[in-house]
Structure 1
Amino acid sequence: MAKIIVSGASGQFGHAAASQLLDMGEDVIALSRSADKLADLAERGADVRAADFDSPDGLEEAMAGGDKLLLISTTLVGQRPRQHGNAIDAAKKAGVKHIVYTSVTDGGNPDHPAVEQHDHYATEQLLKDSGLDYTILRNSQYSEAIATAMVAPSLASGEKPDNCGEGKIAFVSRDDCVATAVAVLTNEGHENKIYNVTGPERFTVPEALALASEMAGRSIKVIHVDDEGMYRYFDSIGAVRKAEDLTPETPIPWASEGMVTFGQAIREGYFDVISDDVERITGKKPRTLRSVYEQYQGAWPA
């Protein structure tokens, strides 16, 4: 049985993946900067180890004995190629043979305007140059993020500024992304493949908000703005513009540059991708946006 390393195992994606692998009886090495947060996985038989991708020291030891690595993208925009590079180098030295990476839709396009995609593009190149087997999972935008971070405040205020225009995107449930990663890790034939992990339907952002409005019985007015208008909106709620300006005291824990250029990328068609890869790999149809909305609808403003 292959020993599977899961990075970022204290995060939502990593913890869910490690948990599913343990349910299947797989041999799991769970990595986190905060290994104390993995006590529940340790109790279930995971080999819990501390690992910090910012520091190459100790990474090879943390991955020792692993055969496959689920490399979950880290969160710090602009720093991820260095962090992921450290992880890839350590994995290779430790004898890992296959890395499965969570990228983004159209992640191999150097002209993609979203600043976060630049990190994914660089990481994809590192993987292809590593000499290791790889599988790249180009995940679309999580439906859960739309159901919570977008829909809830939009219902509360009754309006939503938006720079995505009429661009389409096939929102995908995080559950389906995790299930796809787990299936790739536990089955053969996925080496050196790239998959588009998407939901079953394409929406414009106004269409996605209209569906939420219909389900909630409350109107949401979409205000179409240009990119500078989106920056002004994020400025008004206290978001910094650049990821490097984020601090623990920053009221909004993400930078507006990432959100604005993500919207630009949707508007310009870079996320207009839909595939049946989830169903082909997992054997199950991906969740609809409506089903994810139903899951979170109880937390929407009354």
Structure 2
Amino acid sequence: MTVAVTGASGQLGRLVVQALLREGAPVVAIVRDPQKVADLAEQGAEVRQASYDDADALDRALAGVDRVLLVSGNEFGARVAQHANVIRAAERAGVELLAYTSIPQGTENSMILAQEHIGTEAALATSTVPHAILRNSWYWENYLGGLAHAVESGVLYGAASEGRVAGAARADYADAAAKVLTTDGHAGQVYELGGDEHLTYAELAQAISTAAGKQVRYQDLPEADYAAALQQSGLDADYAKVLADADTGIAKGLLDVTSGHLQKLLGRPATSAVEVFRRALS
């Protein structure tokens, strides 16, 4: 059984390829630039070149593939059409299972980040390829970009109020995807995936404090003020808006997943925020 992973040079895709290789599965790593995954080739993955925009290349990349993980792209505004290209190529290839990395509540989530996932899930619903949807909640690694500043300043800023986020390590989601891709019974399933911890941002600040050995507190801001602060820190205005909107989504409970699906797929607890932060700081 051959398993393909799109976006295999990305942070999640790379981890999924490595998890599949540990399982002994024949793996096809699909990337735009093969040079970026030379190490995966050395580990045993077959590398094939294709972009989400190139239907012919996708047909070649999925030839002979039994199962495929469609890792959501990062070209905002183009992702629904790009993902549809992969779905259609999977149909033409006769793939027996396509798994897609979506977002919690992926048909009704109001976050800006969710809208192209909603469009992709709609495309999957009308496709003929058997599929499973992996609705990943937040990665604890999403907070690493501001981790050093939070530790240095003693303040974690955000706009999540008292909302809770059920995060996990990126590797946890990768291992869960590998499980779906290498075992049976997943076609037609929708997995709401989130970690064991359901943390407010005040509790996230405490997790950073524990990992750093230095007290960090949480300062809640209105969404617009937080977006402005992110821009002042150097982020693009549109990206700052997306991140601030995501915090508002957390305040609404949109990333507080309680299904237990991740833990069932993993057969173990998810990785704690403290562990992820401690590794990053070390």
Q: How does 1:1-302 map to 2 (within 5 A)?
A: 2-109=1-108, 112-146=109-143, 148-242=144-238, 255-298=239-282
Q: Distance in 2 between matches of 1:296 and 1:290?
A: 10
Q: Distance in 1 between matches of 2:33 and 2:210?
A: 42
Q: Distance in 2 between matches of 1:284 and 1:72?
A: 23
Q: Distance in 1 between matches of 2:271 and 2:191?
A: 17
For 1:8-67, what per-residue CA distance to the aligned partner results, in whole angstroms no more than 9, with x for missing partners?
A: 111121112112212222111110000122222223332211011023232111111111
Contact 1:139 1:172 in 2 (8 A): no
Contact 2:2 2:67 in 1 (8 A): yes
Contact 1:71 1:99 in 2 (8 A): yes
Runs of 5+ in structure 1 lacking a partner?
Answer: 243-254
1:145 CA drift (Å)? 2.2
Q: Distance in 2 between matches of 1:7 and 1:113?
A: 26
Runs of 5+ in structure 2 lacking a partner?
Answer: none
Q: Distance in 2 between matches of 1:236 and 1:43?
A: 42
TM-score (norm 1): 0.88
Q: CA RMSD in A?
A: 1.5
Q: Distance in 2 between matches of 1:95 and 1:131?
A: 9
SS of the residue 2:224 aligns to: helix
Distance 1:284 1:160, change over 3 A: closer
TM-score (norm 2): 0.94
